[in-house]
């Protein structure tokens, strides 16, 4: 029986981060991945030689004062990736079809405030108060700052128990302003009436401060982790998962049985997978009814229907730069994230220039909120073996989306080609998630997520459903759990040493 200090289950950005934190601290780590390759949502895929991103397109926090900059510095991979910052003046553009009006949102909080005050001249004090509140929440959240190690900041704030919608209603009656301030809900997939103002603020602050892509997307991140892994005792095994937990004594698991029949012993096992998948692995007789009911009651965040398109090679308009354009049919963001919405959808369009094997591609990835309910009829089918009715559903959605892109950018007419598309079922099957949601569980107000120690004491939970979604939230969850496993003193020394480098 092979022995490890730690088994990390799942090799998305959370699992990669967890394995590296533990490996860098002298532990012998096994990283288990169910898929044939590592990376989870951050890995790219290639169609006709063109690179497309699955679940990582842009991020905040990569500027020198940003949290992602610090995280990558600690992990020693900051210099192994190349950030590409989006245009400071119009990184995000929101187009409201009901108003027929485009709003260009810069980054840098002072720049955003100035721009908003220009768009909404009578709302200056609401705008100031909104950004003050966002800053205040983040300043009092320990997980937002790796440098605030021993601070006595509160874990839960008053704003953890107030919805985004309630706070915005208290600030302004302007529906367009409210929709613009809630627009980043597409980056966490929860309605303004369901997300807490605190979690909305934690998700948005980084994106308000800067917006960047990474050259070669998530594959560059994965390569950086692989490079670092070589220096430590970290073993990766793909196509493997835990089938059974055995020798459970004093609430500790003694043996981990893999799907291949191999038996492994480890001091700890950290799951960075969906909470419902964790529940399937834990033996029911060791769980309380309250625990089972809590985990089973987690709902899913929104998912996406995505089209991956490319512009004609001859199209080399110099104004094609990386931007994010969100088209909202109206200002009701709750409705746009409601699975029951049968009207027009939001559409997020991400443009990027990709270099691959000496060729340049102008790619367009789009995201339309979508839910398991939309594809339930085909839930028992697997990718590559779906019926004609499903193909027809996808074809119709792709055609409509391409039509909307051309409406927004008329010059792309006859120049844009859909190369691939993905439904919530595609995401479910490729990412081994139970429901294909984009951000794991829905982060609802006052929800008690699955983070850290599980009912069996040498098992832990991390990942996007534990703290916050997005690559920053997923990585932060691994730092939080890493602190428990390494214990405070060793963890603090590790951070201090690497933050100073």
Ligand X SMILES: Cc1cc2nc3c(=O)[nH]c(=O)nc-3n(C[C@H](O)[C@H](O)[C@H](O)COP(=O)(O)OP(=O)(O)OC[C@H]3O[C@@H](n4cnc5c(N)ncnc54)[C@H](O)[C@@H]3O)c2cc1C
Instruction: Return the biggest CA–CA distance within the chain.
Output: 70
> In the sheet where 347-356 sits, what is the strand order?
101-105, 92-96, 324-328, 347-356, 359-370, 303-311, 416-422
Q: Which is nearer to ligand X, 237 or 484 (CB)?
A: 237
**To the nearest whole angstrom, how small is the minimum distance from the Cβ of residue 373 to ligand X?**
17
**To the nearest whole angstrom, how small is the minimum distance from the Cβ of residue 422 to ligand X?**
8
Spell out the residues 6+ positions from residue 365 whose beta carbon is closer than 8 angstroms to its own. Answer: 52, 53, 57, 306, 307, 308, 309, 349, 350, 352
Q: Which is nearer to ligand X, 40 or 183 (CB)?
A: 40
Q: Which is nearer to ligand X, 107 or 367 (CB)?
A: 367
**To the nearest whole angstrom, how small is the minimum distance from the Cβ of residue 353 to ligand X?**
16
Q: Which is nearer to ligand X, 54 or 182 (CB)?
A: 54
Sign for the CA dihedral angle at 191, 192, 196, 197 comes to positive
Q: Which is nearer to ligand X, 40 or 106 (CB)?
A: 40
With tokens 């119709």, the residue in question is: 396
Q: Which is nearer to ligand X, 192 or 369 (CB)?
A: 369
Spell out the residues 6+ positions from residue 433 whose beta carbon is closer than 8 angstroms to its own. Answer: 274, 277, 427, 440
List contacts with ligand X (CB under 6 A): 9-15, 32-35, 40-42, 55-59, 241, 272-273, 277, 304, 306, 367, 427, 431-433, 438-439, 463-464, 469-471, 474
**To the nearest whole angstrom, how small is the minimum distance from the Cβ of residue 206 to ligand X?**
9
Q: Which is nearer to ligand X, 42 or 451 (CB)?
A: 42
Half-sphere exposure of 226 (CA within 13 A, CB side): 12
Half-sphere exposure of 96 (CA within 13 A, CB side): 16
For 238, the enclosing helix (H) or strand (E) is strand 234-238
Cα–Cα distance, 468 to 14 (Å, whole number) = 11
CB atoms within 10 A of CB 243: 13
Q: Which is nearer to ligand X, 233 or 429 (CB)?
A: 429
Comparing every residue's Cβ against ligand X, the nearest one is 12
Write out the two tokens for 336. Answer: 């746009």
Phi (first) and psi of residue 243, to 5 degrees? -95, -30
| DSSP secondary structure code for residue 41 in this structure | G
Q: Which is nearer to ligand X, 40 or 331 (CB)?
A: 40
Beta strand extents in 15-75 (DSSP E only)? 29-33, 44-47, 50-53
Cα–Cα distance, 311 to 292 (Å, whole number) = 49
Asked if residues 190 and 301 have their Cβ atoms less than 8 Å apart, the reply is yes
Cα–Cα distance, 17 to 87 (Å, whole number) = 29
Half-sphere exposure of 415 (CA within 13 A, CB side): 18
**To the nearest whole angstrom, how small is the minimum distance from the Cβ of residue 477 to ligand X?**
7
**To the nearest whole angstrom, how small is the minimum distance from the Cβ of residue 259 to ligand X?**
9
């Amino acid at each position: 029986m092979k022995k490890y200090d730690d088994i990390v289950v799942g090799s998305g950005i959370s699992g990669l981060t967890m394995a590296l934190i533990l490996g860098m601290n002298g532990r012998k780590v096994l990283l288990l991945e169910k898929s044939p390759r590592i990376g989870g949502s951050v890995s790219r895929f290639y169609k006709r030689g063109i690179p497309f991103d699955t679940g990582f397109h842009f991020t905040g926090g990569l500027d020198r004062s940003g949290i992602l900059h610090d995280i990558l510095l600690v992990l020693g991979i900051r210099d192994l990736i190349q950030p590409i910052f989006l245009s400071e003046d119009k990184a995000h553009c929101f187009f409201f079809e009901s108003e027929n009006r485009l709003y260009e949102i810069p980054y840098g909080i002072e720049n955003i405030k100035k721009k908003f005050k220009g768009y909404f001249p009578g709302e200056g004090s609401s705008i100031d108060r909104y950004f003050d509140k966002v800053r205040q929440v983040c300043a009092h959240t320990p997980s937002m700052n790796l440098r605030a190690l021993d601070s006595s900041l509160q874990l839960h704030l008053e704003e953890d128990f107030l919805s985004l919608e309630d706070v915005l209603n208290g600030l302004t009656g302007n529906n367009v302003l409210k929709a613009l301030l809630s627009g980043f809900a597409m980056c966490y997939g929860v309605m303004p009436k369901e997300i807490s103002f605190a979690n909305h603020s934690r998700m948005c602050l980084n994106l308000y401060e800067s917006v960047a892509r990474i050259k070669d997307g998530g594959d560059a991140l994965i390569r950086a982790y692989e490079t670092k892994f070589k220096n430590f005792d970290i073993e990766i095994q793909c196509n493997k998962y835990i089938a059974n937990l055995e020798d459970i004594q004093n609430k500790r698991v003694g043996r981990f049985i893999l799907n291949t029949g191999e038996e492994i012993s480890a001091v700890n096992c950290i799951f960075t997978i969906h909470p419902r998948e964790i529940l399937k692995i834990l033996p029911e007789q060791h769980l309380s009814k309250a625990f089972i009911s809590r985990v089973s009651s987690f709902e899913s965040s929104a998912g996406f229907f995505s089209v991956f398109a490319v512009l004609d090679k001859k199209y080399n308009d110099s104004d094609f730069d990386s931007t994010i354009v969100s088209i909202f049919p109206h200002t009701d963001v709750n409705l746009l994230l409601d699975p029951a919405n049968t009207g027009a959808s939001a559409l997020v369009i991400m443009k990027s220039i990709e270099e691959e094997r000496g060729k340049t591609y102008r790619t367009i990835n789009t995201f339309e909120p979508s839910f398991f309910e939309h594809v339930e009829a085909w839930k028992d089918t697997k990718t590559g073996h779906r019926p004609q009715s499903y193909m027809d559903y996808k074809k119709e959605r792709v055609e409509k989306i391409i039509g909307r892109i051309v409406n927004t950018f008329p010059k792309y007419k006859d120049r844009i080609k859909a190369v691939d598309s993905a439904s919530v079922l595609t995401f479910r099957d490729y990412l081994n998630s139970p429901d294909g949601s984009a951000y794991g569980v829905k982060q609802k107000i006052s929800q008690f997520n699955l983070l850290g120690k599980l009912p069996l004491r040498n098992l832990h939970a991390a990942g996007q459903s534990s703290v916050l979604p997005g690559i920053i939230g997923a990585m932060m969850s691994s730092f939080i759990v890493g602190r428990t496993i390494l214990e405070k003193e060793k963890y603090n020394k590790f951070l201090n040493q690497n933050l100073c480098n």
